[in-house]
Amino acid sequence: MTKNEKIVLTLVLGFIPPVFLFVLFWFAFYAMAPERSLFPIPFIGLAAGIVIDILFLKRWLASCYQWKTWILVLIFSFYHIGMIGFFMGVPLFNAFLGILAGYYFGKRMLHNNFTEDDKKKITSNVATITSVFMFVICSLSALIALSDPFTPSNLEGMFGLTYNLTHGILISGIIIGGLFLVAFTWWSTKFTLKYFMLIKQI
């Protein structure tokens, strides 16, 4: 594993425990005692996540190219949910997660012995799965946008539009934008996977 690989995978894997436990402690405590101050409860979760990283991250890095599919799906789901939440329902940046998946599987195939048929099959499957994820995220985002009566006015203000954003224009934009994001995810996943599958030093 190269230095750059270690940096990328350390960031990707190491980010999960602190953030997950921070958010979990935040919502769990708020659900139990909404009238009380949250501080410092979420930071206890953050500290626990950092401790988990210290204890297990090196072990995870050593074995991550042999992980089963369900573990990878959970990690991918975590980032998709986090991205859609952080950007308040806008799925634009979720499309870049296909690049991350392509990087991982490209390196995974580089580090393991796969036949050419297996490589083609895995490449196709990974691109399909990331595209399905993107379709689901776009669908959820569309439901959120269409269920909010203030979405057109919010978008008009956000982008400084000088015309009224009608329901028809909104739906057309959602469909065209969603198809573009799904197609971009499929293409970028395959391109990144094939590229990094051949590059040993990055």
In tens, the pLDDT along 105-120 reads 999 998 888 888 989 9
For residues 97 and 40, state if they share a domain: no
Both 196 and 101 in one domain: the answer is: yes
Q: Tell me: the pLDDT tens digits for 8-34?
A: 999 999 999 999 999 998 888 877 766
Q: Does residue 147 sit in the same domain as residue 98?
A: yes
pLDDT digits (tens, 9 = 90+) for 100-156: 999 999 999 988 888 889 899 999 999 999 999 999 999 999 998 888 787 777 777
State whether 60 and 71 are in the same domain.
no
Same-domain pairing of 157 and 200: yes
Q: Are residues 54 and 112 in the same domain?
A: no
CA–CA separation, 8 and 48 (whole Å): 22
Same domain, 89 and 51: no
Domain span holding position 35: 1-65
- Report, as an integer, the average pLDDT of 176-192: 95
With a threshold of 0.75, does the pTM exceed it?
A: yes
Do 72 and 168 lie in one domain? The reply is yes
For residues 87 and 175, membership in a common domain is answered with yes
Buried b (16+ CB within 10 A) or exposed e, 4-42: ebeebbeeebbebbbebbbbebbeebeeeeeeeeeeebb
